[in-house]
Amino acid sequence: MALLEIENLSTGYGEIKVLWGISLEVQEKGVTALLGANGAGKSTLLNCISGLHKTWEGKILLDGNDITGMSPHKRIELGISMVPEGRRIFPGMTVIENLMMGAYTRRAREKIDESYREVYDLFPVLKERQKQRAGTLSGGEQQMLAVARSLMARPRLLMLDEVSTGLSPVLATTVMETLAKLAETGLPMLMVEQHVEKALEISERAYVLENGRILMEGDSKALSTNEQLRRAYMGI
C-alpha cells in the first residue's frame, strides 16, 4: 500500500481553478518527483497535502486514512513535513535554534538528541555553525538548514519545494547529492523540482504537471528518455 495517495484532487484560488483531478501516489520508500513549469500547480499541490491550502474536491490519504480536512499541525504530528520554497528559515535565530523549531511535536522532542546527530552527520557544516545566526549563512547553507529543520520533525514523508532554486550549479548539485544520500535511508520524499534531469536521477517515479493536470507519469528512468519531456523541460 502507498504511504500517500491523492485521489482526484482539485483546488484553486477564489473562483479560479488551478488543479484539475490530480491523482498520484508516494510509496513507503524512495523519491517521487513532481515536475513541471512555473505556474503548473506544483506548490499548490504540496500546500494541499500539508493542509496550508484547502482542497476543493478529492481526497488525501495517509496510510489509507483520509486526512483531507485535517489541520496542518495534525498532519505534522502524523509525520508530514515540508521544506518550503524560499527556505523560510528564521534569520535572527541561531542554527541550533532553527533546528529546535523543527522538533516541536512530542514525538520529535522525545528523540531530539538522536535527530541532532543525524542532521549533523548529513550536514557537517551546520554543526560547525550551530551558534551562528542563520541569516549570516550562505544560500547553500541556508537551504541545508531548511532541510535539516524539517528532518528534526522526524517525518514519515518529507516534501521538498524547489530546494535548488537560487543556488549556483555547484551548490545545487551538492544539495541534490545530499538528498540522494537521504533517500538511501529509506525516507519517502515527494520532490517538486524544476531541474528535471537532476530530479529524475534521484527519484524512482515521476509525475509531470502541466496547466494543473497530470500530463505524464511513470518510472523516472523511462521518463528521462521521453522525447516530449526532454524537449519541453530539458531543452534537448
pLDDT in tens, 21-79: 999 999 998 999 999 888 889 999 999 999 999 999 999 999 999 999 999 999 999 99
Strand partners, 181: none
CA angle 34–122–185, rounded 5-degree value: 60
pLDDT per residue as tens digits for the range 49-63: 999 999 999 999 999
Residue 137 has pLDDT above 70, yes or no: yes
d(CA 31, CA 13): 29
d(CA 140, CA 146): 10
122: three-class secondary structure by DSSP = helix
pLDDT per residue as tens digits for the range 75-102: 999 999 999 876 688 889 999 999 988 8
pLDDT top residue among 148 and 233: 148
d(CA 222, CA 31): 15
Considering the segment(s) 1-79+157-236 as one domain, its CATH architecture is 3-Layer(aba) Sandwich (3.40)
Mean of pLDDT values over 144-166: 90
228 — pLDDT class (breaks 50, 70, 90): confident
pLDDT at position 234 is 56
Length of the chain: 236
142: three-class secondary structure by DSSP = helix
- Residue of 213, 216, 215, 217 lying closest to 10 (CA atoms): 213
Mean of pLDDT values over 111-135: 91
Mean of pLDDT values over 142-164: 91
pLDDT at position 236 is 47
Cell of 30: 524512495
Question: Sign of dihedral through CA atoms 183, 167, 99, 55?
Answer: negative
CATH 3.40.50.300 residue ranges for the chain? 1-79+157-236
- Contacts with 89 (C-beta within 8 Å, 6 or more apart), sequence order: 98, 134, 135, 142, 145, 146, 149
d(CA 219, CA 152): 30
What one-letter code names the amino acid at 79?
G
232 — pLDDT class (breaks 50, 70, 90): low
